[in-house]
Structure formats: structure tokens, C-alpha cells
């Protein structure tokens, strides 16, 4: 009870000079993590100014098709696109409980000559849904160069470390060696799939266009006195003005909410990629093989001064997990759209779509920063390899012994016994793996003593890792980045020629 009283007391004791922003909940996505450009893309100003542009497009198209709309009316509307009186609109909405009508009235107040023709023949979803589609498209256009930049930085890293052997893992247990660059290509391939999925989702977007209240275009057919061709042309004109190649051929009051499912699916899938990448980095950091950037004055822990926690990777994982959960909201919304439309989509979409794009944007910014400063510790990597490589080399040693005239079964049994002894030494006594020393001390293996350095060279066990990195980068990654390179969007020195 006392604690509750304290909280009430704190509310009453707010100093007069505290800014209002500190007295109300702010989304960390907009206040802390996402970029300014993505936050603007989902801002109220961007939405309402886009609504006003859409009313201009509609008026222009209707005038072009013969309705009595003057140039002066259109010019008046165009001049008011960014002159938004949000206070007036909020007051109107408080009274009439309808956001679109509130903004129609607010625009009419500054466009008295155009007032009679604003929103002529349209339903609320003409501005609401069409603006959403424009904002979705622009959201993808903000994200795609950022994915490309992450790929570009990671490509440089993969090229640099394509030959450096490192211990590979399956089941998080030591397996055959790979290379640091080849492992980076596993991350890179997922981002390549993501850039393809995001591009497809963007390019597959259509416009809702001028479809009317339930998608039948009945109001526009009435406006144009039954002229079907003019109604069809109206839909085409507003679609072209908004920068889309085509509109959805059929829809209800809204564009199909399955479109949101596809968009958020691509974003959530990229969230899974980024989470996997950063998890790998965190695991490698715990082994001290790899480390994300760490500034000179950065503090890893308030209690443990020596800590160098992978905070960027952890933050990326945290936001990526949120991103992945948002896809389910789009699925539920799509599944629950009754008949031509139900309004239980609106509040959910205001949250999930914006947060999905802001979350993806935030993660990509973190990921680019990580990729630009990854630190590799070759000596630690070599140490871990040397602890496991003797066991991996046993098959090669057996084959070399057979070539030298030995008996395979006898040799296998000898190495099995020595391997068990070395394994017990490592696991039970915490000592180093001394299998190679035992082989060098056993005269039975004298025929291959001179080959042991070659047989235990880590590069002998990486297969085509180096060649796979080179082929993958040249044949797949560089072509995927070509568009962004030509537009000058990568802005970073590359090792490979793009």
C-alpha cells in the first residue's frame, strides 16, 4: 500500500520543466532503435499528407474523365498537402469518432473552393488502404539497401577469411573443420534469400485504387452515369499517379489482408536470419574466437569490469524475436476478415505493420555495425582446432599406414586405444590432447612420422570451403548486389570487385 502511495506521490511531484515526452510511454522502437527515415515513413504526418495526395490524385483523375472539377480547386488542394492542422483534426475526430472524415473536414477548412469535391465518390479505404500500400512500398525501399549493405560488409569478411580453418560444429559438438569465411557465407546466404523475399514482397504489391465501399465501384459508376470504361480508367489513373503498375483486380472494402501476411512473412523470416546470425556470433564470442565491435570506453557489465558482452548481438536477437512474433498478428487478421471487411483489423494493423518495419530496420542497423567491426582471434581458433584435430586426423593416419604396408584392422585398434587414453586425459584430467605425441612415441607408427605435420594440417580437412566461398560470392552475391552498387548505395570499400 505504501508503494502505491509513493507512485501517486511521484505523479504529483513532477517538476514543471520536465518535457512532456518523459511523462508518457514512448515506443523504444521509435525513440531508441529504428532510423529517423523509417520512423518518418510511419509517422502521422506521412500518413495524413499521403491521404491528401490521394485526394489530389482522385480529383485530377475525375477532372480528366469529365467531372466538373476546376484547376483552381486542384491547385488549392495541392497547396494544402503538407499544411495539416492536427489540432483541428483531433477536435473533429473527438466529436464525430471518424478519423478520415475528421481530416476531410480539416482539409476542407483550408480548401474552401475544393471542399465540395474532396473525397468525391470514395470510401475511407481509398485513402486508408492506398496510403498503407504506398507506405509499405516505401518501407521496403528503405530496408532493401540496408540488407544489401549488410551483405556487402559480410561479403568482405567472408572473402578475407575464406581460407582460415576453424572448428565446425554439428549439434553444437565439434565436427569437421570449416573456414571462418565459409561460416560467414552460411549467414550471407540467408540474407541473400531475405533480399530476394523482400524484393518479391515489394514488387508484388498492387494498389487498391478507386474501388468504392465494398469493392464494386458502384459509387464511381453512378458519378460517371453508368460509363464502365471511365470507371475502369479512373482506377488506372490513380494507380499510375501513385507510382504503381497495377491495382488489385478484385477486393472488398479493403485490399486483401493476405498481402500483409506476405509482407510480414518476409520481414519475420529476415528476423529469423538475423537472430541466427547474432546467436552464432554470441556463441563464438563465448569461445573468444570472434568478437563484435567494442569501443574503448564501452562498459560490458556494471559489476564485472573485465566483461566484453556481445551487447549489439543480444539487442539484435531481442528485437528480432519481437519481429518474428508480429507475423502471427497478420495471419490472425487475414483469417478474421468477414465477407467484404470487418474493422477489427484496424487497431491491430496500426501496431503490427509499423512495428515490423521499425524492428527490421533497427536490427539491420545493428547488424551492419557488427559486420563492419567483427574481430577475429586466429590464435584462439587455432588452439581450439588443435584440441580436436588429432581425433579428426585418425582416419587419414590409418590410410597413410595402410599405404606404407600396415594392416588396417591392427592400425585401427592401436589408434582406438590411444584415442581413448587421450580422450580421458582431456575430459577427466583437464589436460591437453596428446594423441599425436603418443603416435610419435610409438614405433609402430614410425612409417608415417614424417607425414604427421601434413596429416594434421587443418587446411587438409576444409574440403572445398575456400572454393565454395569464392564461387558463392562471384556467382550469387555480387550479382544480387549489382543494383545497389550501381545506385551508389553501398558506400564501403570492397575486397572483391563489384
Give the integer Cα–Cα distance in Å for 376 and 469. 18
From 247, 268, 289, the end of a domain falls on: 247
pLDDT in tens, 224-280: 999 999 999 999 999 999 999 999 999 998 999 999 999 999 999 999 999 999 999
Provide mean pLDDT across the span 154-166.
96
Q: Is the pLDDT of residue 206 over 80?
A: yes
Number of domains, the chain:
2
pLDDT tens-digit map of 90-100: 999 999 999 99
Q: Which whole number is the average pLDDT over 400-412?
A: 90
Residues forming the active site: 171, 301
Helix or strand holding residue 168 (H, E): none
**Out of 61-75, 347-361, 383-397, least confident range:** 383-397
The residues near 137 (Cβ < 8 Å, ≥ 6 apart) are 202, 205, 243, 244
Q: Which domain CATH number covers 68?
A: 1.10.275.10
Question: Are 357 and 350 contacting, i.e. CB atoms less than 8 angstroms apart?
Answer: no
CATH number at residue 443: 1.10.40
Name residues whose C-beta falls within 8 Å of residue 196's C-beta, 6 or more positions apart in sequence.
480
Query: Looking at the domain assignment, is residue 52 inside a domain?
Result: yes
Predicted pLDDT of residue 386: 85
The model's confidence at residue 445, banded by pLDDT at 50, 70 and 90, is confident
Q: What is the pLDDT of residues 281-321, one digit of tens each?
A: 999 999 999 999 866 554 454 454 445 789 999 999 999 99
The share of the chain scoring above pLDDT 70, in percent, equals 94
At residue 346, the pLDDT reads 87
Q: Is 497 left (phi over 0), alpha (psi -120 to 50) or beta?
A: beta
Is 323 part of any domain? no
Inside any domain, residue 407:
yes
Residue 171 is assigned to a structural domain of this protein: no
The answer to whether residue 334 scores a pLDDT higher than 60 is: yes
Give percent of the chain above pLDDT 90.
71
Look at 446 and 243; give whichever has higher pLDDT.
Answer: 243
Q: What is the pLDDT of residues 17-45, one digit of tens each?
A: 888 888 888 899 999 999 999 999 999 99
Residues 152, 481 contacting (CB under 8 angstroms): yes
User: Has residue 495 got a pLDDT over 80?
Assistant: no
What are the phi and psi torsion angles at 428 (to 5°)? -90, -30
Q: Are 191 and 273 in contact (CB under 8 A)?
A: yes
**So what's the pLDDT on residue 419?**
85
What rounded mean pLDDT belongs to the chain? 90
* Dihedral (CA of 274, 276, 282, 284) sign: negative
Q: Give dist(CA 358, CA 45) in Å, integer.
A: 17
pLDDT(496) > 70: no
Are 108 and 122 in contact by the 8 Å Cβ rule? The answer is: no
Domain of 398, in residue numbers: 394-455
Would you put residue 410 in left (φ > 0), alpha (ψ -120 to 50) or beta?
alpha
pLDDT band at 498 (very low <50, low <70, confident <90, very high): very low
Distance CA 197, CA 50 (A): 26
Report the residue count for the chain.
498
- Per-residue pLDDT band at 156 (split at 50, 70, 90): very high
C-alpha cell belonging to residue 39: 520512423
Residue 497 has pLDDT above 60, yes or no: no
Residue 223 has pLDDT above 50, yes or no: yes
Spatial distance between the Cα atoms of 192 and 206, rounded to a whole number of angstroms: 24
Question: Residue 105: inside a domain, yes or no?
Answer: yes
Whether residue 414 lies inside any domain: the answer is yes
Is residue 154 domain-resident? Answer: no
Q: Grid coordinates 475526430 are at which residue?
A: 93
Distance, in Å, from the CA atom of 333 to the CA atom of 258, rounded to the nearest integer, reads 9
Predicted local confidence at residue 305, as pLDDT: 47
pTM for the model stands at: 0.89
How do residues 170-183 score in pLDDT, each as one tens digit? 999 888 899 999 99
> What pLDDT was estimated at residue 3?
54
* Cβ neighbours for 465, distance < 8 A, ≥ 6 positions apart: 162, 163, 178, 179, 181, 182
Which helix or strand (DSSP H or E) is residue 169 part of? strand 169-170
The answer to whether residue 255 sits within a structural domain is: no
Amino acid at each position: 500500500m505504501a508503494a502505491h502511495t509513493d507512485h501517486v506521490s511521484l505523479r504529483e511531484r513532477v517538476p514543471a520543466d520536465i518535457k512532456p515526452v518523459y511523462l508518457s510511454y514512448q515506443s523504444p522502437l521509435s525513440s531508441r532503435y529504428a532510423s529517423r527515415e523509417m520512423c518518418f515513413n510511419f509517422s502521422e504526418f506521412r500518413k495524413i499528407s499521403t491521404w491528401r495526395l490521394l485526394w489530389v490524385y482522385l480529383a485530377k483523375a475525375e477532372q480528366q474523365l469529365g467531372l466538373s472539377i476546376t484547376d483552381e480547386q486542384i491547385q488549392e488542394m495541392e497547396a494544402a498537402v503538407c499544411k495539416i492542422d492536427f489540432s483541428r483534426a483531433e477536435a473533429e475526430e473527438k466529436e464525430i469518432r471518424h478519423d478520415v472524415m475528421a481530416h476531410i473536414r480539416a482539409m476542407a477548412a483550408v480548401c474552401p473552393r475544393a471542399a465540395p469535391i474532396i473525397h468525391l465518390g470514395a470510401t475511407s479505404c481509398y485513402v486508408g488502404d492506398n496510403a498503407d500500400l504506398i507506405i509499405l512500398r516505401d518501407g521496403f525501399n528503405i530496408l532493401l539497401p540496408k540488407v544489401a549493405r549488410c551483405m556487402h560488409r559480410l561479403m568482405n569478411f567472408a572473402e578475407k577469411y575464406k581460407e582460415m580453418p576453424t572448428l565446425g560444429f554439428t549439434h553444437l559438438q565439434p565436427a569437421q573443420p570449416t573456414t571462418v569465411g565459409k561460416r560467414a557465407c552460411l549467414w550471407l546466404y540467408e540474407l541473400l534469400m531475405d533480399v530476394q523475399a523482400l524484393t518479391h514482397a515489394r514488387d508484388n504489391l498492387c494498389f487498391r485504387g478507386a474501388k468504392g465501399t465494398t469493392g464494386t465501384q458502384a459509387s464511381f459508376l453512378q458519378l460517371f452515369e453508368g460509363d464502365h470504361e471511365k470507371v475502369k480508367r479512373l482506377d488506372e489513373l490513380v494507380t499510375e499517379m501513385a507510382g504503381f503498375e497495377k491495382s488489385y483486380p478484385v477486393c472488398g472494402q479493403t485490399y486483401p489482408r493476405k498481402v500483409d501476411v506476405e509482407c510480414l512473412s518476409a520481414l519475420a523470416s529476415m528476423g529469423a536470419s538475423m537472430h541466427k546470425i547474432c546467436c552464432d556470433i554470441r556463441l563464438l564470442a563465448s569461445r573468444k574466437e570472434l568478437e563484435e565491435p567494442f569501443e574503448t570506453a564501452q562498459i560490458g557489465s556494471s559489476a564485472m569490469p573485465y566483461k566484453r558482452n556481445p551487447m549489439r548481438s543480444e539487442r539484435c536477437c531481442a528485437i528480432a524475436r519481437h519481429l518474428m512474433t508480429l507475423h502471427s498478428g497478420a495471419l490472425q487478421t487475414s483469417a478474421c476478415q468477414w465477407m467484404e471487411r470487418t474493422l477489427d483489423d484496424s487497431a491491430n494493423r496500426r501496431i503490427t505493420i509499423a512495428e515490423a518495419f521499425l524492428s527490421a530496420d533497427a536490427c539491420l542497423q545493428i547488424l551492419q555495425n557488427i559486420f563492419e567491426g567483427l574481430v577475429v582471434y586466429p590464435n584462439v581458433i587455432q588452439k581450439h582446432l588443435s584440441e580436436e584435430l588429432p581425433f579428426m586426423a585418425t582416419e587419414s593416419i590409418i590410410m597413410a599406414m595402410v599405404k606404407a604396408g600396415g594392416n588396417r584392422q591392427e592400425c585401427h585398434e592401436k589408434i582406438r586405444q590411444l584415442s581413448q587414453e587421450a580422450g580421458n586425459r582431456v575430459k577427466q584430467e583437464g589436460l591437453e590432447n596428446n594423441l599425436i605425441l603418443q603416435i610419435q612415441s610409438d614405433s609402430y607408427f614410425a612409417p608415417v612420422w614424417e607425414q604427421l605435420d601434413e596429416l594434421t594440417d587443418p587446411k587438409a580437412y576444409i574440403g572445398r570451403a575456400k572454393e565454395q566461398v569464392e564461387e558463392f560470392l562471384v556467382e550469387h552475391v555480387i550479382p544480387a548486389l549489382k543494383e545497389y552498387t550501381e545506385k551508389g548505395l553501398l558506400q564501403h570499400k570492397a575486397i572483391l570487385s563489384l
